[in-house]
């Protein structure tokens, strides 16, 4: 059952009763599936050699790139996370409000697929603009600024289309009238099968953040733009540590909360060790 069915009051009442009386029914589940896949595994399914992406943007390399490129070249390290759910959504309608992403106006029931970068190469910037601590900083996330990130997302879109066209999922998705592929939600304004040009347009116009910000106080050597040392101390400032997700120099796969707990536990050990000294 697609979530769009809940627009029907009778179906919504039934689903609410299922949940209230037995914690069952369609309201008992959220995202129905997720998978982490590497670029070398995805690329052949979208008509590319498995290693073609590894040399993209070499002129843009920075302190993080050797580590990230090692991950990128491995079959065993995920570059994209895919999430699947029985609901349509459209970032073109939702804007910056997450709650509006799922209130699209397209009639019918849809299956949604999303591709998420596991280890972005792009690097944004955060700078103070005033000595007033109440003033907001200038933030430029520079999403998809690195060509590797853009190419991975394009691969992700083309791979998702391949999944929709492959049995058994293909049996549950409507065909286009001309039989060239599967029907895409109307609000995306993509009338036919997604080709390379359409995938690039979709990535440029439809990419939104995953709300996992890291790296603004990265643990790196100072000469490489680092802010804290391996003991979480801020370079050039006495008795100041940073203990949060901002010290991660690269994004971890998946949600960051557990890693922040681990950082806090380690910080507690470091502080206690320094106190004893």
Per 3-state DSSP, what percentage of the chain is helix, strand, and coil (rounded to 5)?
Answer: 40, 10, 50
Q: Mean pLDDT for the chain?
A: 88
* The pLDDT of residue 92: 67
CB neighbourhood size of 166 (10 A): 10
Percent over 70 (pLDDT), the chain? 95
Candidate from 24-38, 125-139, 142-156, 212-226 with smallest mean pLDDT:
24-38
Sheet holding 112-117, edge to edge: 33-37, 80-85, 112-117
Percent over 90 (pLDDT), the chain? 51
Q: What is the CA radius of gyration of the chain?
A: 22
The structural domains of the chain, ordered by start, are 31-206 (3.30.560.10), 222-276 (no CATH)
* The pLDDT of residue 95: 55
Q: Which helix (H) or strand (E) holds 113?
A: strand 112-117
Cα separation, 74 vs 115, whole angstroms: 19
Name the residue among 211, 213, 245 with its Cα closest to residue 228. 245
**In the Cβ-directed half-sphere of 67, how many Cα atoms lie within 13 Å?**
11
* The pLDDT of residue 277: 79
Give me the mean pLDDT over the 141-163 stretch: 94
Query: Can you give the length of the chain in residues?
Result: 277
* The pLDDT of residue 98: 65
* The pLDDT of residue 7: 81
Give me the mean pLDDT over the 241-263 stretch: 93
Q: Are 217 and 227 in contact (CB under 8 A)?
A: yes
Catalytic-residue membership of 146: no
pTM (predicted TM-score)? 0.86
Query: Over the stretch 58-91, which tens digit does the pLDDT of each residue have?
Result: 777 777 788 888 888 888 899 999 988 888 877 6
User: Is pLDDT at 23 greater than 90 in this prediction?
Assistant: no
């Amino acid at each position: 059952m697609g979530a769009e069915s809940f627009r029907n009051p009778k179906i919504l009442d039934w689903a609410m009763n299922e949940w209230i009386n037995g914690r069952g029914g369609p309201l008992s589940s959220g995202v129905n599936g997720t998978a982490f896949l590497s670029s070398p595994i995805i690329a052949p399914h979208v008509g590319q050699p498995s290693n073609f992406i590894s040399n993209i943007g070499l002129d843009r390399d920075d302190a993080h790139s050797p580590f990230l490129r090692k991950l990128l070249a491995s079959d065993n390290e995920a570059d994209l996370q895919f999430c699947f759910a029985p609901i349509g959504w459209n970032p073109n309608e939702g804007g910056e409000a997450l709650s509006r992403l799922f209130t699209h106006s397209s009639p019918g029931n849809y299956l949604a697929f999303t591709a998420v970068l596991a280890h972005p190469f792009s690097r944004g910037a955060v700078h103070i603009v005033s000595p007033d601590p109440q003033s907001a900083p200038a933030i430029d996330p520079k999403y998809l600024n690195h060509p590797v990130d853009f190419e991975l997302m394009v691969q992700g879109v083309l791979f998702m289309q391949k999944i929709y066209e492959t049995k058994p999922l293909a049996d549950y998705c409507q065909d286009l009238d001309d039989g060239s592929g599967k029907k895409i939600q109307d609000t995306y304004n993509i009338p036919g099968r997604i080709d390379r040009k359409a995938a690039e347009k979709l990535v440029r116009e439809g990419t939104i953040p995953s709300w996992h910000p890291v790296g603004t106080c990265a643990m790196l050597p100072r000469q490489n733009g680092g802010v804290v040392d391996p003991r979480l101390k801020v370079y050039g400032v006495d008795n100041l540590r940073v203990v949060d997700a901002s010290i991660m120099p690269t994004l971890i796969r998946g949600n960051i909360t557990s890693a922040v707990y681990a950082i806090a536990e380690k910080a507690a050990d470091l502080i206690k060790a320094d106190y004893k000294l």
